[in-house]
Amino acid sequence: MSLRDWIVNALKGFGMGAANVVPGVSGGTIALLTGIYSRIIDCLDAVASLDTWKLLLHGKLSEFWKRIDGNFLVALAIGVVISVFSLATLMTTAMERWPIFTWAFFFGLILASAFFMLRDIKGWKVSWVLLLLAGIGLGIAVCTLTPAHMEGSMPFYFVCGMLSVCSMILPGISGSFVLVILDQYDDIMLSISTLDIPVLAVFAAGCVVGLLAFAKLLHFLMARWEKQTLLVLIGFVLGSLVKVWPWSDPSVIVDGQLHVIGAILWCVAGAALVVILETVSSKSKE
C-alpha cells in the first residue's frame, strides 16, 4: 500500500472516529459514504476466523497480514485513535457549558442521517415498514427506561465497550450514542480527556471482545438481510431521539431560559453537516 493510500485510509479512520465521538452520524455511516464499509466487514470477519490465526501460529506472518488486510486496518486504526483523543476534550467541554446547543446539534445530525439512510432504501414492502416501526418502538422503549448508572463499575465499563464498539461499525447508529443511552457518555469522554488508564483499559478490552464476537454475526446478517437489518437500526435511531431531545433533562435549563432560537440554529447546523457530507460523497462517486 502506497503512502498516499495510508494517508487516505487514516483520514477515513479519522472521520469514523470523529463520528463515533459525536452521538450522531455513526462510524459505519462514514464508512459507507467513503466506500470502505464492505472492506472493513471483510477484514473483521477474517480477524474473527480461527483459520486466520492458524496462519499466525504456523509462522506464516505474511499470509496472516494479507488475510486481515493489515496495512489497511492499521492506517484506519491510527486515524480513529487520533480523532477520539483529540475530540474527547472538546465534547466534554461542550456538554458542560452548552448542553442545550450541543444536544440540539446532535439531534440535527441524527435526524438528517436517518433521512438519508431511508432515502437510499428502494423497493419498500409492508414487512419493511413494520420492521422500521418495530425499531422505532424498541428505541423509544430502551431510551425511556431509567438507566442504571454504575459509576466506577469496571464490569459495566467492559459491557459498555462491547456494546458501543458493535454499533461503531453499524451504519445508522454511533457508538457514542449507545453510551448516551447507557448513561455513560460523560464518564467515558472524561476518562479519555483525562487519560484515566484503568477505565480506558477495561473499556478497550470490552471493545476488542465485542468487535470480534460481533464481526461474524454482522457479516452473516448484512450478507443475507442487509436492508431489513438497516431498517431496524434506523428505526431504533429514530425512536432514540427522545434521549437526545435538548430539553429532556430539566437541569440543563439555566434561569428558566430555553434558548429555543439557538437550539434551532444548532439543530440546522447539525443537519447541514450531514447534507454536506452526503453531497460531497455523491459528487465523488459520480
Task: Tell me what pLDDT residue 24 has.
Answer: 55
Contact 78, 240 (CB under 8 A): no
The model's pLDDT over 228-280, given as tens digits with 9 standing for 90+, comes to 887 887 888 788 788 778 887 777 777 667 889 999 999 999 899 888 877 77
Determine the Cα–Cα distance for residues 246 and 253; give it in Å rounded to an integer. 10
Sort residue 145 into left (φ over 0), alpha (ψ -120 to 50) or beta: beta
Task: Tell me what pLDDT residue 84 has.
Answer: 82
Bridge partners, residue 254, by sequence: 257
Is the model's pTM score more than 0.85?
Answer: no
Give the percent of the chain with pLDDT over 70.
Answer: 87
Residue 27 has pLDDT above 80, yes or no: no
Please return the burial class of 154, using the count of CB atoms within 10 Å of its CB with bins 0-12, 13-18 and 19+: middle
The model's pLDDT over 6-21, given as tens digits with 9 standing for 90+, comes to 888 888 888 788 767 7
Q: Grid coordinates in use for 267?
A: 439543530
> At 203, is the pLDDT very low, low, confident or very high (cuts 50, 70, 90)?
very high
Task: Tell me what pLDDT residue 106 has.
Answer: 82
CA distances from 123 to 119, 143, 211 (A): 11, 30, 31
Residue 121 has pLDDT above 80, yes or no: yes
The model's pLDDT over 160-194, given as tens digits with 9 standing for 90+, comes to 888 887 766 666 566 777 787 777 888 888 888 88
